[in-house]
């Protein structure tokens, strides 16, 4: 502690490594009053990096897998109405400012050793197949462009809907992407229905 400022020193490099922190990531710390900090981790796309267990403590080591869901969509699994995919995945929604492309979080691919080819097949719930073009920038940002607009139109996707993008891979080392399995969730369908009681 320097003056009124507090710094993490011992153990910080291990914490960075174990939590796959990168330049541009955001950490939000919560102090419990007993020298323990819980934290929330967001990647470059403002998506929350979530561990399978919700409790995350600074300084603890863990070999648990990390899942990535957009922070505004992470609640879709909260009530158990939506099954968590077995394959690597991320959750997205239609972006008003960038409706013609799908951002693929770099952390998902890095953590699982996945590299998208220049073209990738996406398959929706109806079994419709669309070959899409993948663009990767030098800073690691990846977007699916050509074909995404057709997927949006075919599935009548709007800004309130959510889409689970499951990356299906084979057993090779490193794994090769076979296709993206897309599951569209209509607005609010992941929330329990409230049954109101009416007085006669």
pLDDT in tens, 15-45: 888 777 877 778 887 777 767 777 777 765 5
| Residues 49, 66 contacting (CB under 8 angstroms) | yes
Q: Which of 86, 53, 78 is nearest to 168 (CA)?
A: 86
pLDDT exceeds cutoff 60 at 11: yes
pLDDT over 90, % of the chain: 22
pLDDT tier at 70 (50, 70, 90 boundaries)?
A: very low
Q: Distance between CA atoms of 107 and 60, rounded to whole angstroms?
A: 21
pLDDT 10s digits, 131-161: 999 998 876 778 899 899 999 999 999 988 9
Cβ–Cβ contacts within 10 Å for residue 147, how many? 19
Q: Which two tokens stand for residue 112?
A: 């699982």
pLDDT exceeds cutoff 70 at 118: yes
pLDDT tier at 47 (50, 70, 90 boundaries)?
A: low
């Amino acid at each position: 502690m320097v003056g009124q400022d507090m710094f993490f020193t011992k153990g910080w490099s291990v914490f960075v490594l174990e939590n796959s922190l990168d330049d541009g990531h955001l950490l939000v710390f919560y102090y419990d009053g007993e020298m323990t900090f819980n934290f929330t981790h967001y990647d470059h796309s403002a998506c929350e990096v979530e561990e399978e267990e919700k409790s995350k403590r600074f300084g603890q080591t863990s070999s648990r897998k990390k899942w990535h869901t957009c922070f505004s969509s992470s609640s879709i699994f909260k009530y158990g109405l939506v099954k968590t995919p077995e394959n690597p995945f991320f959750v997205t929604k239609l972006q008003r400012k960038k409706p013609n492309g799908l951002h693929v979080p770099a952390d998902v691919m890095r953590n699982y050793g996945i590299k998208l080819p220049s073209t990738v097949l996406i398959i929706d719930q109806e079994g419709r197949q669309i070959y899409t073009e993948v663009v990767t920038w030098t800073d690691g940002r990846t977007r699916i462009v050509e074909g995404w607009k057709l997927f949006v139109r075919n599935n009548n996707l709007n800004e309130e809907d959510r889409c689970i993008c499951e990356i299906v891979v084979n057993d090779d080392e490193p794994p090769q992407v076979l296709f993206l399995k897309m599951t569209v969730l209509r607005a609010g369908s992941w929330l329990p229905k409230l049954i109101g009681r009416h007085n006669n």
